[in-house]
Structure 1
Amino acid sequence: MNMDPAFIEFLEGMVKPLAATAVVLVAVVLSFAQNLGLEKEMVVAIVRAFLQLSVIGFVLQFIFNQKNAGWIVLAYLFMVTIAGYTAGQRAKHVPRGKYIAGLSILAGTAVTMFLLVILNVFPFTPRYIIPVAGMMVGNSMTVTGVTMKRLRDDLKIQKALVETALALGATPTQASVEQVKRSLILALSPILDNAKTVGLISLPGAMTGLIMGGASPMEAIQLQIVVMNMLIGASTMSSIMSVYLCRPAFFTKAYQLESSVFISD
C-alpha cells in the first residue's frame, strides 16, 4: 500500500522526539525515588503534548492559509478557554476560579493584542496573531493561576491578622492589601526575572528561530523585544484582574472572611 510522502516524512521526523522522551523517563524515575507522586502526571503531560502538537501543526497550517479573520477569533477564544480551565484547576479552591481565570486572561491578552495591532506592531493575520496570542495566553495562564492560589493560601495562613483588621473597621480591600501585593509579586517575579536575564542565561526561541531561519540578527532582536514587552504587559493585566475578580469571594457582605472558602485543601 502506497503511503502519502508527507505522512512518511512526518513519521520519520518523529524519531528524534520519541528518542528525547528518554529524559522524561529519567524525571519519572527521580520522582518515584523522591516519593513526589508526579510520575503519572509527567507521563500524561508528555503524551498529551505529543498528541496535541502533532494535531495542532496541521490545524495551524490550515488556519494560516485562511483569509477570514473569524478563524483568528475562534482560535484565540479556544486558547483562552483551555487556559482558563487549566489556571482554574491550579486554584481549584477559589470559588468560580475557572471563570475568573478565563475572564482575566481574556481581558489582559485582548487589551495587549489590541494595542499591538492598532500600533501596527503586528498585522492582523493568522500567521502573526495566533502565535503571538498563544505566547501571551500561556504566560497569563501561569501567573493567573499562581496569583489566585497564593492569595487564597495567604489569606488562610494569615486569617487572624486579616480578621483583626476587619474588626478594627478595615474594608476587605484594606485588610488584604499585603496579601494581594505578595501574591502579585510572587506570580510576576518569574516573568520579570526572565526579562532581566534574557540573552544572558536563556536564549529566546523566537529570536534564535528567526536567526536559524535566515533572518538578520537585528530583525530577530527587534521581534524578541516586542515579545518580552507584550508578555509582561499581558501577564500583569491578567494577574491584577484575577485579584479584583476573586477577592470578593473570600469575604462576606458583612466584611468577614468567608470561612467555607478556607476549609478544604
Structure 2
Amino acid sequence: MMVGMDPYDASFWMDFLRGMLKPVAALAVVLMAVALSFTQKLKLEGEIVYAIARAFLQLSIIGFVLQFIFTQKNAVWIILAYLFMVSVAGYTAGQRAKHVPRGKYIAGISILAGTAVTMLLLVVLNVFPFTPRYIIPVAGMMVGNAMTVTGVTMKKLREDVKVQKNLVETALALGATPRQATYQQVKRSLVIALSPVIDNAKTVGLISLPGAMTGLIMGGASPLEAIQLQIVVMNMLIGASTVSSISSTYLCWPAFFTKAYQLEYKVFATD
C-alpha cells in the first residue's frame, strides 16, 4: 500500500471523511432541484434522489476499487477493469438497441474492438504509459463514448431498414448484396451516431471546458498542459467511437438477413 493510503490506518479514514464534506455540502443544489420538481409537479423527486444516491454509492465503491488497483503492479488488474467496463457498456448499448438480435454481444464486441485498437495505438506510440493511473481513466472515457455511438448506430440502422424495407428488398431482388442494399441506411445511421462526437470536437473550448481539461486545471496544472491532454482525449474519442460504430454495422448484417439474402422479417416485426 502507498503511504497514507492504508485503509487500516485511522488517519486514512479521517482524511476520507474530511474530503467528503464538500460533496455532502454540494447536496444543497440537489435539494434545490428536488424542491423545483415538487413545486412544478414534475414528480421527479424520487428519481432525482435515487439517481444521486446511486451515483454516490457507485462512485464511492469505484473509488476504493481504483485505489486498490493503482497500488498493484500486476497488469492483469488493468485488463480485468477494462473488460468489466466493456461488459457493462455492451449491455447498456444493447439495451438501447434491444430489438437487434444478439445486440448486447454485438455492442460488446464492437466497443471492445474500437477501444482496444485505439488504446493499443496510444500505448505503442508512447502517448500513455501502460499503468493503471493512465489506462483505466482513458479507457473509461473511450468506452463511455463508444457505448453511446454504438447503441445509437444499431438502433438507427434497424429503424431505417424497417422503414425502407421496400427499397432494400428491391435492391436485393436486383442482385445487390446485403451491404449494397443497405448502404444508405448504414451511412445515415453512422452519420447520426457520430455527429455529436464530431460536433463536440469542433466546439471544444469555445462553449465549455471538457472534463479532463477542467480536472487538470483545478488540480493545479497549467492551461497549456491541460490542453495538450485534452487534444489527445478528443483524438482518441473520435478514433474509438468511429471504429466501434462501423464495427457494429458489419456485425448487424447477419441478423438482418437470411442465408438466402432476404430480409429477416421477425427482426423487424416489433417496435
Say if 1:171 and 1:79 are closer, same or farther in 2 by CA, change over 3 A.
Answer: same
What is the one-letter code of the residue matched to 2:110? S
SS of equivalent residue, structure 1 residue 20: helix
Number of the residue aligned with 2:268:
262
Instruction: Work out the CA distance in 2 between the residues paired with 1:10 and 1:159.
Output: 57
Which stretch of structure 1 is more off in the superposition, 37-46 or 78-87?
37-46
Between the two proteins, the alignment pairs up a number of residues equal to 261
Number of the residue aligned with 2:66:
60
- 1:19 is aligned, of 8, 11, 28, to 28
Contact 1:79-1:137 at 8 Å conserved across structures: yes
Contact 1:28-1:42 at 8 Å conserved across structures: no
Say if 1:23 and 1:144 are closer, same or farther in 2 by CA, change over 3 A.
Answer: farther
SS of equivalent residue, structure 1 residue 140: helix
Which stretch of structure 1 is more off in the superposition, 160-169 or 182-191?
160-169
CA deviation string 1:96-152 (max 9, x = no partner)? 000010010001000000000010000000000000000000000000000000000
CA deviation string 1:188-229 (max 9, x = no partner)? 000000000000012111112212222122211110000000
User: In the alignment, is residue 221 of structure 1 matched against residue 230 of structure 2?
Assistant: no
- CA root-mean-square deviation: 2.3
What is the one-letter code of the residue matched to 2:58? Q
5+ residue gaps, structure 2:
1-9
User: In the alignment, is residue 194 of structure 1 matched against residue 200 of structure 2?
Assistant: yes
1:176 shift after superposition: 0.3
Number of the residue aligned with 2:129:
123
1:8 shift after superposition: 3.1
User: In the alignment, is residue 247 of structure 1 matched against residue 250 of structure 2?
Assistant: no
- 2:165 is aligned, of 150, 159, 162, to 159
SS of equivalent residue, structure 1 residue 22: helix
Contact 1:147-1:186 at 8 Å conserved across structures: yes
Say if 1:250 and 1:222 are closer, same or farther in 2 by CA, change over 3 A.
Answer: same
Number of the residue aligned with 1:134:
140
User: In the alignment, is residue 114 of structure 1 matched against residue 131 of structure 2?
Assistant: no
User: In the alignment, is residue 180 of structure 1 matched against residue 186 of structure 2?
Assistant: yes
TM-score (ref. length: structure 2): 0.89
Number of the residue aligned with 2:177:
171
User: In the alignment, is residue 5 of structure 1 matched against residue 11 of structure 2?
Assistant: no
In percent, how many aligned pairs have the same letter?
75
Say if 1:188 and 1:29 are closer, same or farther in 2 by CA, change over 3 A.
Answer: farther
1:41 shift after superposition: 6.1
1:26 shift after superposition: 6.6
1:162 shift after superposition: 1.1
SS of equivalent residue, structure 2 residue 220: coil
CA deviation string 1:230-252 (max 9, x = no partner)? 00000000000001001220111
